[in-house]
């Protein structure tokens, strides 16, 4: 940060990030329908007018939250794919492990459960989420699996189905953590489970 | 049905079932919080007083819906386990296939998504659901896997983790169908996917 900038200007630059952070917290806690832009403004310490300066409406703010908190993770996975040198099984594990790590601490984990809960009431947001998050994540994993098949490392399975099989358990745990974690008496060690599932999958996928 | 019974008496016997069916439809369509007992009564063609004759409140009606629509499936799985003669892998497939079949037509499929959406707002219902549906289903699958291990058919894996790995993809698809099916451009053939996932799992679980 350029500390020669006047303080008001630095504050102004920081505002969209602060609004997005406040919105993420409120969306995850209260749901999309129940979150008011007034509450977002209060939580971010700005006026409602300031929120509208950056975001046309609640839908656009939600899209910005998704773009700022989830898409960078997918992009980072895409970069890993582009630069990868080792086996495809190794890359699959790196992607799953990073995902499990993020789930431990990131508030953006709550977005999946939020979308599942509210998708049927907000079809425009559901479409945005499916296109920009779901399809793009699936494509990342399906590409890794397809390359593994092309390299003779994996059996020639349907990469779309294999992608679903590989990513579903972590995705479900992510949703579960937001819903039932308080009353589930069999909590799961996320990283250990991710490894367990990965190893089962690898035995199913490995060419012999 | 004994058709010698007067019509009003047959009607009266049928009422709880009709109220439960109406409640299931409304809970799945509108959510738990948004469903009013008045609407349930209207949809079932009875008065609100009649609903209260059978169910103390909305929570009890919800529990009755779960007991009438989901628990019989778990019980039927438990009977299959008690009577099973073949391999444990075969039984695992029978359980998964029946589950996938039910998902194609049963409105009770919507209950999982409903619980995920509303669990944090209704902890008492969440606890009920986790104890009576989730834990009991997990126990059924974990027992089958443990017997397969004891019989030397499966590797000595952690049966709790293996259960999660086996049931998560179908569970997630079930939730997904209720949320994003309208905008997901890669719809899945449920039965084909269940078989695909089962076969991957079996290669991971099989003892060699």
For A70-205, give the CATH class.
mainly alpha
Q: What number of residues does chain A have?
A: 208
- B6-42 tens-digit pLDDT: 554 545 567 899 999 999 999 988 889 899 999 999 9
| Residue B96 predicted with pLDDT over 90 | yes
Q: B200, A199: Cβ pair inside 8 Å?
A: no
Query: Distance from A203 to chain B by nearest Cα, in Å?
Result: 5
Give dist(CA B121, CA B115) in Å, integer: 10
Q: CA nearest B104: which of B197, B196, B174? A: B174
Helix (H, G, I), strand (E, B) or coil at B154: strand
Cα B207 to Cα A192: distance, rounded to the nearest angstrom: 21
User: Which segments within chain B are labelled E, that is strand?
Assistant: none
User: How do residues A55-104 score in pLDDT, each as one tens digit?
Assistant: 999 999 999 999 998 999 999 999 999 999 999 999 999 999 998 888 87
**Residue B32: closest CA among B100, B122, B97:** B122
Written as one string, the DSSP assignment of chain A is --TTS-HHHHHHHHHHHHHHHHHHHHHHHH-TTT--HHHHHHHHTS-HHHHHHH-SSHHHHHHHHHHHHTHHHHHHHHHHHHH--S-HHHHHHHHHHHHHHHHHH-GGGHHHHHHHHHGGG-HHHHHHHIIIIIHHHHHHHHHHHHHHHHTTSB-S--HHHHHHHHHHHHHHHHHHHHHTTTT-SS---HHHHHHHHHHHHHHHHB--
Cβ contact, residue pair A188, B119, below 8 Å: no
Q: Distance between CA A165 and CA A142 in Å, rounded? A: 11
Q: B51 CA to chain A: closest CA distance, Å?
A: 28
Compute the nearest-CA separation of B1 from chain A (Å): 40
Stretch(es) of chain B classified as CATH 1.10.357.10: 70-205
Q: Which of A81, A17, A102, A83 is closest to A54 using CA atoms?
A: A17
**In the CATH hierarchy, which top-level class contains the domain A7-58?**
mainly alpha
Give start-end residues of each CATH 1.10.10.60 domain in chain B.
7-64
Cβ-Cβ contacts under 8 Å, A169 against chain B:
164-165, 168-169, 172
Proportion of chain B above pLDDT 70, given as a percent: 90
Q: For A146-187, what is each residue's pLDDT tens digit?
A: 999 999 999 999 999 999 999 888 888 777 776 776 667 677
Interval B159-207: pLDDT, tens: 999 999 998 888 887 777 767 766 676 777 888 889 999 998 888 888 7
Cβ–Cβ contact B34 with A under 8 A: no
Q: Does A182 touch chain B (CB under 8 A)?
A: yes
Q: Is the ipTM of this complex over 0.85?
A: no
> Which of A126, A161, A175 faces B175 most closely, judged by CB atoms?
A175
For A82, how many CA atoms within 13 A lie in the half-sphere containing its CB?
6
Note the pLDDT tens digit of each residue in A58-71. 999 999 999 998 99
- pLDDT at position A1 is 45
| Domain boundaries B7-64, CATH class | mainly alpha
pLDDT at position B11: 55
CATH 1.10.10.60 in chain A is located at 7-58
CB-nearest to B204 from A115, A186, A203 is A203
Phi/psi for A140 (5° steps) reads -60, -50
């Amino acid at each position: 940060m350029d500390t020669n900038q006047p303080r008001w200007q630095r504050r102004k630059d920081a505002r969209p990030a602060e609004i997005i952070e406040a919105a993420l917290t409120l969306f995850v806690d209260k749901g999309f329908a129940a979150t008011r832009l007034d509450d977002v403004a209060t939580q971010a310490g700005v006026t409602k007018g300031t929120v509208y300066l950056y975001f046309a409406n609640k839908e656009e703010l939600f899209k910005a939250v998704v773009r700022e908190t989830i898409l960078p993770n997918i992009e980072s996975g895409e970069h890993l794919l582009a630069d990868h040198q080792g086996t495809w099984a190794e890359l699959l594990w790196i992607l799953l492990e990073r995902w499990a790590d993020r789930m431990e601490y990131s508030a953006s984990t709550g977005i999946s459960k939020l979308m599942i809960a509210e998708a049927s009431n907000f079809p425009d947001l559901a479409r945005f989420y499916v296109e920009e998050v779901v399809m793009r994540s699936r494509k990342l994993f399906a590409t890794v699996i397809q390359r593994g098949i092309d390299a003779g490392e994996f059996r020639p399975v349907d990469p779309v189905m294999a992608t679903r099989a590989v990513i579903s358990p972590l995705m479900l745990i992510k949703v579960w953590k937001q819903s039932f974690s308080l009353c589930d008496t069999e909590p799961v060690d996320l990283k250990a489970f991710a490894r367990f599932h990965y190893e089962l999958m690898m035995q199913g996928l490995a060419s012999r």
